[in-house]
Amino acid sequence: MRRLKRHARIHAVCHTLFPPTTLKEAVQRLGFVQADPIRSPARAQDLILRHRVNEYRNGDLDRNYASLDIEEDLLYAYGFLPRTIWHLLHPRNMTRLTQLEKKVFDIVRSVGQMHPKELEAYLGRKRVVNAWGGYSKATTGALEDLHYRGLLRIARRENGIRIYQAVSKPVEPVAKAERLRKLTMLVANILAPAPEKSLRATLARFRHLGNPRSAVDDLLRSGELETHSIEGLDYLWPAQHTVQNEAPRSVRFLAPFDPVVWDRLRFEHLWQWPYRFEAYTPPANRVRGYYAMPLLWCDRMIGWANLRVIGKELDVKIGFVEESPREKDFRSELDREIARVQAFLALQ
């Protein structure tokens, strides 16, 4: 059983931490890159891509967005995904447009590309209560809703702000059952090996396309998904995955939303300690830090790193779950990872 667990850890690490390639190929191969606006020391999407793209520099995704054939949208979280996958998300079942949404859509369609602030000149600065109990601009909410419906897309970003434009050509509809099947395989691949419990919960978002539970069962019966039980926890992954015998002997600081880290149930089961994202935890209650990043050594999560840019230097604070590894090459590999982060952030 111990060997199976280590095999699953190596699978989790090597399947998604593939050798660095081009930016376009990396996004296509990942299938989805989760986005998050917090910069500590950079946004999640950039921290995720730096491991998988040759000579990736902070902000390269935004700078090259228009040439990558990708979109921003909500999969199981919000992020960036290939346009072929984006097509599977639409059309979504939605109610009729409100009068405000109709006005906003007509304005964006007539202007071309629009910064949210530009709408104020047309429609004012009315505020509404948002889903978190705070206030946001009604026009911004309308833009986000039109984007979710697939009527608007993100053309580019300016300093992290989404610039909207109307979708020029509606998505060709695909049968709901086929969309559900493909999305199920996609998510299973991104999070492989995924605890069955987690995967089924994640796929619940696609209930409007059919029964996700039945979709998983059908894929298991057809052999497109495989399953194995480890210490009483059932894992699923797409069939014919190639798994290496060993993980690379390298150190990685992983973003809180990296595919290796994303499923907290899997993390705690495979690595035997609970990782939590504490940015929204009151400072006095934080255990590991505002934006503590899991520290991967080979196939083991041995601790965490807190990274900050102070002036023009990178400040690195490391914490260990137990103790620092005694392997002779650990310290040199840790130094190499710190140097990679410095290059990524263009620091001396």
State the pLDDT confidence band at 124, using cuts at 50, 70 and 90: low
Q: Are residues 142 and 185 in the same domain?
A: no
135 compared with 32, residue with greater pLDDT: 32
Residue 1 confidence class, pLDDT cut points 50, 70, 90: low
Assess whether 230 and 260 both reside in one domain: no
Quick one: 159 and 226 in the same domain? no
Number of domains in the chain: 3
User: Which of the listed residues 115, 133, 166 is the one where a domain comes to its end?
Assistant: 166
pTM for this predicted structure: 0.93
Range of the domain at 135: 99-166
* Axis-axis angle for helices 196-203, 176-190 (nearest 10): 140
Asked whether the CA dihedral 237, 240, 241, 242 is positive or negative, the reply is positive
In 3D space, the residue among 259, 266, 223 whose CA is nearest the CA of residue 241 turns out to be 223
What is the spatial distance between Cα 335 and Cα 319, in angstroms, rounded to a whole number? 15
Question: What is the share, in percent, of the chain residues with pLDDT greater than 70?
Answer: 96
Does pLDDT of 115 surpass 50? yes
Would residue 337 count as lying in a domain? yes
More confident site: 76 or 140: 76
The verdict on residue 77 lying in a domain is: no
Cβ-count burial of 41 within 10 angstroms (0-12 exposed, 13-18 middle, 19+ buried)? buried
**So what's the pLDDT on residue 3?**
80
Angle in degrees, 0-180, between the axes of helices 196-203 and 264-271, rounded to the nearest 10 = 170
Question: Is pLDDT of 348 > 80?
Answer: no
Instruction: Identify whether 91 is part of a domain.
Output: no
- Residues 226, 270, single domain; the answer is no
Q: Is residue 180 within 8 Å of 206, Cβ to Cβ?
A: yes
Lowest-confidence segment of 46-60, 67-81, 112-126, 283-297 by average pLDDT: 112-126
Over residues 180-190, mean pLDDT:
97
Range of lowest pLDDT (78-82, 86-90, 122-126, 153-157): 122-126
76 assigned to some structural domain? no
Same domain flag for 151 and 295: no
Note whether 139 and 212 are same-domain residues. Answer: no
Instruction: Kindly state whether residues 56 and 180 are assigned to the same domain.
Output: yes
Tell me how far CA of residue 101 lies from CA of 119, 125, 173, 249, 313, in angstroms: 12, 15, 23, 53, 46
Number of other residues whose CB lies within 10 A of the CB of residue 319:
14
The string of pLDDT tens digits covering residues 281-332 is 999 999 999 999 999 999 999 999 999 999 999 999 999 999 999 999 999 9
Which of 144, 166, 188 lies at the terminal end of a domain, its last residue?
166
- What is the per-residue pLDDT for 136? 45
232 and 275, same structural domain? no
